[in-house]
Structure 1
Amino acid sequence: MDKAAIYGILLVTVLTSQINCQEAILHISSGSTEQDFCIVNNNSWTPLSKTLDGAVQYPLVMISTLLCDSSGVDPAMVNGKALVVMRGDCTFSQKALVAQMLGATTLLIASNKTLVPPSTNNTQEYSQIRIPLALMRYMDFLEAQQIFGNEMQAKLYAPPSPKIDASIGVMLLISVVTVALGGYWSGACERECLNSGTGGESVGNKANSGDVSLYSPLKVFIFVAIMCGMLILMYYFYNILVYVFIAIFSLASAIALFSCFDAVLEKLGCPSGSFTISNHSFSVRSLILASVCISISVVWAFYRNEDRWIWILQDLLGIAFCLNFIKTIQLSSFKICTILLSLLLVYDVFFVFITPFFTKNGVSIMVQVALGPDASGQRTGGDTVEVPAWPQTSTETIPVLMRVPWLSAWTQNLCGMQFSILGYGDIIVPGLLVAYCSRFDVWINSTKKIYFLSCCIAYLLGMMVTFAAMLLSGMGQPALLYLVPFTLITSATVAGCRGEIKQFWTGTSYEVLESSQEPLSPEMRTDNSVEPC
């Protein structure tokens, strides 16, 4: 029933997904030459044709007056034409009414300021407007004049944009595959380590593996407190710390990418090859891999603000980073999983929903840090768009997001690329629980991997509900609000149904003494305990 309800919600959303976009297209032509430019309009006041073929073509002219009144304008010059005037001195509706009185068929307002769709509190005034009204960049009009001269023919149209873009499906695939692979990798490493030795040997293998285990509730609280502190520091000292995080990500992602590629090649049985220099042995495969991974990281760092294609490298490095993090950080028990995920759920909700009441611009600290200082210029509620009037200097952003451009607007992107985004935390945090479930399957020797598979399915359903909530509400959602309950409740339910809830809750008896940082002695372990690597 739960699956049917989710599919029903998505189906209804798909069937009602065509929306009238506020970005529209100005198609200018002269003879065989043609070009498209970005415009914005309020479709509720001045609806435009949805297709280029259905749009009416008019000659395009610009007048020097601001058109706040009809003085100085020859009606014969503008009658039956699309009119361009500069922004300023009076409202958009005043200009539109004057243009309409003079016989113009369309009014384009050229702007040197940020383009925002025309809106008004005076409904009566706008109800009198019968001609299309839109804003365009003044720089675009200057470019059009250079290309076409004064002989320009214009069409305005606003192709409907699907509310559900295929990029959401790509993002869903990326997140689920990353979580599943990270969990599987963690379980595979655990099985390999257990098979390689027992007792003290296992402990030694663990120490050499580089994995980090969170086994104490106190350490979990400290970990979350550090995250809160770092987020607040980033909010107040963003312009400085952003470069620190970029450098850290470049290094960490290169190492993670190397680790992922090396594991794949090892699994495929690819020979490593080696040579010796001054009694030091070097692996040819490792050197080649290191060169490739470092090169990818350096290219990303150099072109990180290039929107058109750099998202591919950022997502590749992000996937590797998440995979390596999920495999490396090990939660020792379901108790620790519950404490960590619950605290991070509160953390996510607080910094997304509560902090806007305390910030000056009304933007949450989480959004401000993730999207950068210009986060307030993003879409709000899916209804309002802002298009810069001039090329903007790229703002540095912290690489903590998976980004996939809207595929439905791939050939347009006249007003700027739009992305579907997902934070690394929405992959890593549930992924740590999936990894624990995968290791628990190894500890109980479950051939069907029941815990791992059920947790992966729960994550998939949680992501689907997250995207459905985002589409229905028209605003971004803290994904952990849905992912944490789905994964925790599902895992606990499976353990309860199998009668393994106590063992699942406590994990194994492998612990570390705070004083000595050494494993408990064999005498202090229960006879039926399972010791992980």
Structure 2
Amino acid sequence: MNTAVIFVFMTVTFLTSQINCQEAILHISSASKEQEFCILYNHSWTPLPERLDATVPYPVVNLTSTMLCDPSGVSPDVVKGNAVVVMRGDCTFSQKALVAQSLGATTLLIASNITMIPPSANGSEYSKVQIPLALMRYRDFMEAQRVFGDEMQARLYAPLSSWIDGSIGVMLLISIVTVALGGYWSGACERERLNSGAEGANRDNKAESGDIALYSPFKVFIFVCLMSGMLFLMYYFYNILIYVMIAIFCIASATALFSCIDAVLEKLGCAHGNFTVFNANFSLRSLILASVCISISVVWAVYRNEDRWIWILQDLLGVAFCLYFIRTMSLSSFKICVILLTLLLVYDVFFVFITPFFTKDGVSIMVQVALGPGASEEKRRGNVVEVPAEPETPTETLPVVMRVPWFSARAQNLCGMQFSILGYGDIIVPGLLVAYCSRFDVWINSTKKIYFFSCCIAYLLGMITTFAVMLLSRMGQPALLYLVPFTLITSATVAACRGEIRQFWNGTSYEVLESSQEPLLPEARSDHPIEAEPC
């Protein structure tokens, strides 16, 4: 089960949302009520105030019975000084705007019952239109009429969207805490294993029950090849395999959440409450905990497409999954860490930057698998905002990312929840190196945990660099491009400074060759820790 999870879930890299400047807010109010709706506008055509208190309210006139492609049949007395709502179609946005402007309208709202994109026109037409112009969903206007009746006041404004959103800080906190806890857990388990005298039993390189150990470069290569094959399968058979992925995620995340919480309860000394039924032993604590974890996983599966709150459960399950993965999968040496992280970095760069040259639509395999085949090319590239006019059937996406909604982007969230996202792989892959450093601190009996803390700091700096480049370039970044060099170089530098580079490179004394089962290290470590030289 663990091996299957590895091949399935380490396939998506860091792809974060971009800040858009094409959404705005329509504020509808009456004497006692107010409500806000999503609108799309062209900021180079229709400049809008940034704050609600800087706007002027105008009465709303319902002209959705006409397209307003010409002034015939419309009385200027009805339109003058009001915000006019007309239907989309039959003529260009600029033609509608010029007609409304000639009739004395102060604002033009175009109701759309098809997918909306920001209105545009020829550059020469921009200067002719002097009134605000925006698109809104027809169903939103119907909702406003139901709530407010004919006594509506409309105000349009476009609050600024900061490049730096609070969701980035939350994402940074989630990633560093998960990596640090996973590394600490791995080191604590290694210390417990050594203290219990299990090292001698593991001389044949058999890990603890349920654990996965990578100790051979050949196995690492096969592991990465299987991941690549899984990504290709997802690309060609997405509509089928996505449901297999969802099922595996439910099982794996529930198991991981159970293991994480059970470890905490064990540390706190909570009683198991053992009892016997028909000569079979049961633990009351385990039964209750399993029921809770399975319930959380099932709730996520049922409501996985509910953006407003389900991201909390997905992040909870994701954190547990990453922690359990880092704890369960162990790398035997820094040599294996270098090989694995380097191959995964090449894998990441290849599938993000190289595959667009080979795909028929020019979209990378990684991006298409991450966003799903239903996302348009322009939407994938972040160049165009598209807002569906009617509720659509949600597109299934891979549950392999942490998601945190934008906090400050009110207009964007009205049009559809916007998220900062971080792939599980950008936590797990460097986390495996952090876990190795934590275990090496145990092997050399380092009370200051110098390797563990230095690798965690390097990971934090790598994540900060990733977010900084993303914000400056306004483009999503493959995080491993920065995390792998930061963590590998820092760990190697610490080992060289302390004069332990040979031990750090070769790792544990029970690393073996598959062919001969002989120790790779001639100076096989005894039960005593390696003598560390002071830095």
- Normalising by structure 1, report the TM-score: 0.91
State whether residues 21 and 159 of structure 1, in contact with CA within 8 Å, keep that contact through their aligned partners in structure 2: no
Give the structure 2 partner of residue 88 of structure 1.
89
Give the structure 1 partner of residue 463 of structure 2.
463
CA distance in 1, matches of 2:470, 2:493: 27
State whether residues 253 and 318 of structure 1, in contact with CA within 8 Å, keep that contact through their aligned partners in structure 2: yes
Matched, 1:123 2:127: no
Q: Deviation digits for residues 469-494 of structure 1, max 9, x if unmatched?
A: 11111111100011001101111111
CA distance in 2, matches of 1:269, 1:193: 19
Q: Deviation digits for residues 112-147 of structure 1, max 9, x if unmatched?
A: 221111233x21111221111110011111222222
State whether residues 402 and 424 of structure 1, in contact with CA within 8 Å, keep that contact through their aligned partners in structure 2: yes
Give the structure 1 partner of residue 427 of structure 2.
427
> Does 54-63 or 215-224 show the bigger shift?
54-63
> Does 268-277 or 141-150 show the bigger shift?
141-150
SS in 1 for 2:89: coil
State whether residues 334 and 506 of structure 2, in contact with CA within 8 Å, keep that contact through their aligned partners in structure 1: yes
Give the structure 2 partner of residue 242 of structure 1.
242
Shift of the 408–314 alpha-carbon distance from structure 1 to 2, 3 Å rule, reads same
Give the structure 2 partner of residue 331 of structure 1.
331
Per the TM alignment, residue 513 of structure 1 is displaced from its structure 2 partner at its CA by 4.4
Shift of the 67–359 alpha-carbon distance from structure 1 to 2, 3 Å rule, reads farther
CA distance in 1, matches of 2:444, 2:510: 15
CA distance in 1, matches of 2:59, 2:524: 89
CA distance in 2, matches of 1:151, 1:400: 47
**Paired AA for residue 98 in structure 2:** L
Q: For the aligned residues, what is the CA RMSD?
A: 2.3
Give the structure 1 partner of residue 134 of structure 2.
134
Matched, 1:66 2:67: yes
Per the TM alignment, residue 317 of structure 1 is displaced from its structure 2 partner at its CA by 0.6
Give the structure 1 partner of residue 188 of structure 2.
188
CA distance in 1, matches of 2:436, 2:398: 28
Query: Which ranges in structure 1 are unaligned for 5 or more consecutive residues?
Result: 1-18
Shift of the 498–87 alpha-carbon distance from structure 1 to 2, 3 Å rule, reads same
Q: Deviation digits for residues 295-352 of structure 1, max 9, x if unmatched?
A: 1111111111111111111111100100010011111111111111111111111212
CA distance in 1, matches of 2:458, 2:437: 12
SS in 2 for 1:402: strand
Give the structure 1 partner of residue 105 of structure 2.
104
Map of 1:359-378 to 2, 5 A cutoff? 359-376=359-376
Give the structure 1 partner of residue 11 of structure 2.
none
Per the TM alignment, residue 508 of structure 1 is displaced from its structure 2 partner at its CA by 2.1
Per the TM alignment, residue 378 of structure 1 is displaced from its structure 2 partner at its CA by 7.7
Per the TM alignment, residue 256 of structure 1 is displaced from its structure 2 partner at its CA by 0.6
**Paired AA for residue 109 in structure 1:** I
Per the TM alignment, residue 420 of structure 1 is displaced from its structure 2 partner at its CA by 0.8
Shift of the 20–354 alpha-carbon distance from structure 1 to 2, 3 Å rule, reads closer
SS in 1 for 2:374: helix
Q: Deviation digits for residues 169-223 of structure 1, max 9, x if unmatched?
A: 1110000000000011111111110111155334589544321111111111111
CA distance in 2, matches of 1:199, 1:438: 17
Q: Deviation digits for residues 72-130 of structure 1, max 9, x if unmatched?
A: 3322221111111211222212221222122111111111221111233x211112211
**Paired AA for residue 453 in structure 2:** L
CA distance in 1, matches of 2:336, 2:484: 13
**Paired AA for residue 316 in structure 1:** L
Shift of the 480–59 alpha-carbon distance from structure 1 to 2, 3 Å rule, reads same
> Does 329-338 or 380-389 show the bigger shift?
380-389
Map of 1:287-436 to 2, 5 A cutoff? 287-376=287-376, 384-409=384-409, 413-436=413-436
Identity percentage of aligned residues:
77
> Does 507-516 or 61-70 show the bigger shift?
507-516
Count of matched residue pairs: 510
CA distance in 2, matches of 1:300, 1:313: 6
SS in 2 for 1:161: coil
State whether residues 361 and 376 of structure 1, in contact with CA within 8 Å, keep that contact through their aligned partners in structure 2: no
Per the TM alignment, residue 467 of structure 1 is displaced from its structure 2 partner at its CA by 0.6
Shift of the 351–90 alpha-carbon distance from structure 1 to 2, 3 Å rule, reads same
State whether residues 273 and 285 of structure 2, in contact with CA within 8 Å, keep that contact through their aligned partners in structure 1: yes
CA distance in 1, matches of 2:473, 2:507: 39
SS in 2 for 1:39: strand
**Paired AA for residue 138 in structure 2:** Y
Per the TM alignment, residue 520 of structure 1 is displaced from its structure 2 partner at its CA by 3.9
Per the TM alignment, residue 404 of structure 1 is displaced from its structure 2 partner at its CA by 0.8
State whether residues 207 and 213 of structure 2, in contact with CA within 8 Å, keep that contact through their aligned partners in structure 1: no
- Normalising by structure 2, report the TM-score: 0.90
Per the TM alignment, residue 227 of structure 1 is displaced from its structure 2 partner at its CA by 0.7
Shift of the 530–223 alpha-carbon distance from structure 1 to 2, 3 Å rule, reads farther
State whether residues 462 and 482 of structure 2, in contact with CA within 8 Å, keep that contact through their aligned partners in structure 1: yes
Shift of the 378–465 alpha-carbon distance from structure 1 to 2, 3 Å rule, reads farther
Shift of the 203–273 alpha-carbon distance from structure 1 to 2, 3 Å rule, reads farther
**Paired AA for residue 201 in structure 1:** A
SS in 2 for 1:393: coil
Query: Which ranges in structure 2 are unaligned for 5 or more consecutive residues?
Result: 1-18, 530-535
CA distance in 2, matches of 1:249, 1:196: 33
> Does 173-182 or 127-136 show the bigger shift?
127-136
CA distance in 1, matches of 2:233, 2:130: 52
Greater relative CO (CA pairs within 8 A, separation 6+): 2
**Paired AA for residue 135 in structure 2:** L
Matched, 1:113 2:114: yes
**Paired AA for residue 385 in structure 1:** V
CA distance in 2, matches of 1:388, 1:26: 17
Give the structure 2 partner of residue 170 of structure 1.
170
> Does 273-282 or 53-62 show the bigger shift?
273-282
Shift of the 222–20 alpha-carbon distance from structure 1 to 2, 3 Å rule, reads closer
CA distance in 1, matches of 2:300, 2:209: 29
Matched, 1:473 2:464: no
Give the structure 1 partner of residue 278 of structure 2.
278
State whether residues 204 and 512 of structure 2, in contact with CA within 8 Å, keep that contact through their aligned partners in structure 1: no
Per the TM alignment, residue 527 of structure 1 is displaced from its structure 2 partner at its CA by 4.3
Shift of the 265–199 alpha-carbon distance from structure 1 to 2, 3 Å rule, reads closer
Give the structure 2 partner of residue 264 of structure 1.
264
Give the structure 2 partner of residue 226 of structure 1.
226
**Paired AA for residue 93 in structure 2:** F
**Paired AA for residue 80 in structure 1:** G
